Chains A and B, each alone.
Chain A
Amino acid sequence: MAQTDLQIYRALRKLFRTIDENVDDLALHCRTFEQSRQLVEEWTQAQKNYIDARNRIFDSSDGKVKKLYEDLGTAQDAVEKSLRNLKKIERVLDQIGDAVRMGTSLVALGAV
């Protein structure tokens, strides 16, 4: 993630938490509906900015998450393929057996 994104995020976190910790006191001091409305708009916007800044950082990694998810799928296929290969060991062994038998026959014939 970019350092500036992180710095902005931290600044917005601090701002939101300051408002959030004091919103009850502030609400008690509102004398008019307009003041209450203004308070709730500022509080909500601060929260939205804070979460959006966090989401921006998440977004910057989302491509990585998607690619990792796909990479794991590929790795999964490879592992399953390996497993299938092992399960076909009889075929592999047949081939080995053929080679060994050929070698043994050659030995028997005195060709080596």
Chain B
Amino acid sequence: MRRAGLLLLLALLVLSCRPSLRGDARALSQRGVETGTRLAGLYDSLAGDTVDAWELTAFRRGFMRLPAPEADARASFEAQYKALRARARLARRMVTIYESLGRLASYDTADEIGAAISGLEADLEGVVESPLQEAPRRDVLDAIIKGIASWKETRELRSGARLIEQTAVAVDALFRGERELYRDIAADRADKYRQIATELVQAKEVVSSSMVDRVLSAYGLAWPDVKAPFQDERAIAGILEIIDARSRTFEAQSEDETTAVSRALSALLREHREIRGGD
């Protein structure tokens, strides 16, 4: 009867822990680190775009020989830069916490208890007059204690993941709420590149045959003098079309990265929900 009770306790302990939880938590940690790193990279990139847009605006003004304005937009650009840097810091903190979750999931509690179990064994051997029909078996107690440790670990992992999930949901909401702004910042920078390239070509200031050389070289042909700016209006028109087409590709690449981050955040929340589903 007593032995049956002991085995029942053991069974309950074993059933109460989910062996895959540690693996799931490690996977969640990995995804969280990757997502946070990617998010931080996007914010850093947008902060860089902000600086670019400011500098290139100044270049354009100078190139067009326009006078300096009485009050420039530096303060506005700086405020935008600071807002993006704050978000990048938030994303990096997110990386740190998922790294911690990973350490928590990787900590092998069961291995740590080996020594303690050996001590217990000695104590149990000291119990001489056991009413059990057979002497207490080490493997039974070993399993019980490992079960208890695993159960405790499971609780800790779940509570850790739950805590992080709340903030991950908020970071995702922030990202979605501001996504249009991110797209605009990247587009503004791409616009500046395109406008400056276009204006330089139109001004016949550009020395570049590389855009057409790849076409010509396929037929063994070459632009006659690579050091001379484009003068021919048809060549200029063609180059402007290439600039326009490429600028759309740059914008699409930026949009792709924003979409990828958005998907990564969704996948992260999905993994959180899956772990929570095991509660």
Q: Is the CB–CB distance between A41 and B69 below 8 Å?
A: yes
Contact A97 B119 (CB under 8 A): yes
B59 within 8 A of A: no
A36, B70: Cα distance in complex, Å: 13
Enumerate chain B residues within 8 angstroms of A8, measured Cβ to Cβ. none
8 contacts between A and B (CB under 8 A): A6-B180, A51-B73, A61-B174, A68-B170, A79-B97, A83-B100, A86-B107, A97-B116
- Whether, in the assembled complex, A57 has its beta carbon less than 8 Å from a beta carbon of chain B, the answer is yes
Q: What are the residues of chain A within 8 A of B94 when measuring CB–CB?
A: 72
**Chain A contacts for B87, CB-based, 8 A:** 65
CB closest chain-A residue, reference B117: A93
Which one of B122-130, B227-235, B260-268, B269-277 contacts A? B122-130
Any A CB within 8 A of the CB of B218: no
Kindly list the 6 A-B residue pairs having the minimum CB-CB distance in the complex, ordered from nearest.
A58-B83, A51-B76, A44-B69, A82-B156, A93-B116, A75-B163
Across the interface, which residues of B come within 8 angstroms of A39, CB to CB?
66
Measured in the bound complex, the distance between the Cα atoms of B66 and A33 in whole Å is 9
Contacts of B107 in A (CB 8 A): 83, 86-87
A59 to B156, CA, bound (A): 36
A81 to chain B, nearest CB (A): 9
Question: Which A residues touch B71, using CB under 8 A?
Answer: 44, 48
CA distance A92 to B109 in the complex (A): 11
- Inter-chain CA distance A71–B77, complex, in Å, is 28
Contact with B along A91-112 (1 / 0, CB 8 A): 0111011001100110110101
Are A89's CB and B149's CB within 8 A?
Answer: yes
B184 — which chain A residues lie within 8 A by C-beta?
Answer: 13, 54
Within 8 A of A (CB), among B111-135: 112-113, 115-116, 119-120, 123-124, 127-132
A68 to B159, CA, bound (A): 18
A33 and B67 form a contact (CB under 8 A)? yes
Q: Contact between A93 and B181 (Cβ–Cβ < 8 Å)?
A: no
**C-beta contact mask, A52-84 vs B, less than 8 Å → 1, else 0?**
101101110110111011011111101110110
Closest to B130 in A: A108
State whether A93 and B145 are in contact (beta carbons under 8 Å apart), knowing that A33-B67, A65-B86 are contacts in the complex.
yes
Residue of B66, B68, B100, B157 contacting most chain A CB atoms (<10 Å): B66
The contact size tier of chain B is: 35 or more
Q: Does B57 contact A (CB under 8 A)?
A: yes
- Interface contact B73-A108, CB-CB below 8 Å: no
| Contact between B109 and A86, CB atoms less than 8 A apart | yes
Known: A54-B181, A90-B112, A108-B127. A27 touches B64 (CB 8 A): yes
B131–A1 CB distance below 8 A: no
Interface residues as binary, B51-75 with A (CB distance below 8 Å gives 1, 0 otherwise):
0000001001100111111111100
**Which of A6, A44, A78 interacts with B159 by CB under 8 Å?**
A78
Out of A48, A52, A90, A108, name the residue touching B115 (CB < 8 Å).
A90
Contact (Cβ within 8 A) B80 A75: no
| Across-interface contacts of A110 in B (CB, < 8 A) | 131
Please measure, in the bound complex, the distance between the C-alpha atom of A36 and the C-alpha atom of B123, giving whole angstroms. Answer: 94
Nearest chain B CB to A8's CB is how many angstroms away?
13
Q: For A10, give the chain B residue with the smallest CB separation.
A: B180
> B195 CB to closest chain A CB, in angstroms?
7
> Cβ of A86: which chain B residues have Cβ within 8 Å of it?
104, 107, 109, 152-153, 156
User: Which residues on B sit within 8 Å (CB–CB) of A68?
Assistant: 90, 167, 170-171, 174
